[in-house]
Amino acid sequence: MIMHWESLDEVKLASKLLMKSDLTENFRQAIIPSTIQMNYLEQMNKWSK
């Protein structure tokens, strides 16, 4: 999954909220921590429409 964010601070806040929300309980229980890999990369360019 590739997600685009305005800032690293937004990513951190979204992750924090995701891990606390009752709405994401089933999702969190389905995660196998050893299979998760997260990379934070700088966006270099954009496709023009």
- pTM, two decimal places: 0.60
pLDDT digit string (tens) for 3-43? 888 888 998 899 899 889 999 999 889 989 899 888 888 88
Number of domains in the chain: 1
29 in a structural domain: yes
40 in a structural domain: no
Instruction: Find out whether 8 and 40 touch, Cβ atoms under 8 Å.
Output: yes
Range of the domain at 28: 1-33
Q: What is the pLDDT of residue 26?
A: 94
Examine the pLDDT at 1 and tell me if it is beyond 80. Answer: no
48 in a structural domain: no
22 in a structural domain: yes
Tokens of 41: 């990369």
1 in a structural domain: yes
Instruction: Find out whether 11 and 40 touch, Cβ atoms under 8 Å.
Output: yes
25 in a structural domain: yes
Examine the pLDDT at 2 and tell me if it is beyond 90. Answer: no
46 in a structural domain: no
Q: What is the pLDDT of residue 48?
A: 87
